[in-house]
Amino acid sequence: MWAGRPGARSVFRLSDVMAGLVGIAFIAVAVPMLFAFGGARAPIYVQLFLLFFVLVGLSQLVGPSAMRAWQLPRTWYALTDQRALELVGDNVRSVRLNQVEAFDVTTRADGSGTIVFVRSLGLPPQVRQMLGALQSSGVFRARGGSASGSVLAFYHVADVAAVEALVNSYRQGLR
């Protein structure tokens, strides 16, 4: 059995940068529109509508990173001989290792990395191949999962090679 916590670097991701750009765009649209409507003399309904744009922009700019920073101290990863588990506060997500179709490991120079587990959904080979291509392109890693729960990821594991070896040994034992 293995248990670990994500490293501090997992607070910021590329998807956060993209959400931040969307947030900046919302703000960049709302502010000039306010001045186009007369600034502080604009009707209250225009001011409230544009305030909504600014609030959505700020939530996109700050929200994802702030949420992850809040969850980081409460996140644990665990690996047993049967399952891979992600525990965030009281929420537990898991995937059985005998249902894992594939797993992808990304390793950094310092030995830390990310492991993404993709659960088999009983799909035809063509669809599984397409999902594998999406996984290796980074689509699943950027989002951290999917609504169906078919993907589970351990982000910023300190010694990813040791965990990968453990996953391989557990999966061999299940066959």
pLDDT digits (tens), the chain, 175 positions? 677 767 655 555 666 777 778 888 888 888 888 888 888 888 888 888 888 888 888 888 888 778 777 777 788 889 898 888 988 888 888 888 888 877 788 888 888 888 888 776 666 667 766 766 665 555 554 333 343 446 788 888 888 889 888 888 888 876 6
If one counts the domains in the chain, the total is 2
Residue 118 located in a structural domain: yes
Same domain, residue pair 56 and 122: no
Same domain, residue pair 120 and 167: yes
Look at the pTM and tell me if it is higher than 0.75: no
Residue 77 located in a structural domain: no
Q: What are phi and psi of 75, to 5 degrees?
A: -100, 135
CB 117 within 8 A of CB 152: yes
Same domain, residue pair 43 and 113: no
Same domain, residue pair 60 and 127: no
Residue 124 located in a structural domain: yes
Domain that holds residue 62: 8-71
Residue 1 located in a structural domain: no
Same domain, residue pair 126 and 151: yes
CB 135 within 8 A of CB 47: no
Six token digits for residue 65: 């990173």
Residue 2 located in a structural domain: no
Residue 81 located in a structural domain: no
Q: The dihedral of CA 66, 67, 73, 79: what is its sign?
A: negative
